[in-house]
Amino acid sequence: MRLALASVLLTLVAPAFAQAFTERPEVQAFIGEVVERHGFVERELKRVFSRVQRVEPTLQLILPAERPSWDDYRAQFVNETRITRGLEFWKANRRALKRAEQRYGVPAQYLVAIIGVETNYGRNMGRYRVIDALSTLAFDYPPRASFFRRELEQYLLLAREEGLDVFSLRGSYAGAIGIPQFMPTSLRRYAVDFNGDGRIDLTRSAADAVGSVANFLKEHGWQPGEAVLFRAKPSPEALARYVDGSVEPRTRIAELLASGLELEPAPSSPEALGVLVALGAEYRVGLQNFYVITRYNRSALYASAVSDLADALAARAPVARK
118 is an active site residue = yes
Are 284 and 294 in contact by the 8 Å Cβ rule? The answer is no
CA dihedral 306, 297, 190, 276 (to 10 degrees): -70
Question: Which residue among the candidates 118, 151, 237, 255 is catalytic per the annotation?
Answer: 118
Three-class SS of the chain: CCCCCCCCCHHHHHHHHHCCHHHCHHHHHHHHHHHHHHCCCHHHHHHHHHHCCCCHHHHHHCCCCCCCCHHHHHHHHCCHHHHHHHHHHHHHCHHHHHHHHHHHCCCHHHHHHHHHHHHCCCCCCCCEEHHHHHHHHHHHCHHHHHHHHHHHHHHHHHHHHHCCCCCCCEECCCCCECCCCECHHHHHHHCCCCCCCCCCCCCCCHHHHHHHHHHHHHHCCCCCCCCCEEEEECCHHHHHHHCCCCCCCCEEHHHHHHCCCEEECCCCCCCCEEEEEEECCEEEEECHHHHHHHCCCCCHHHHHHHHHHHHHHHHCHHHHHC
Are 264 and 230 in contact by the 8 Å Cβ rule? The answer is yes
Amino acid at 6: A
Residues noted as catalytic = 118
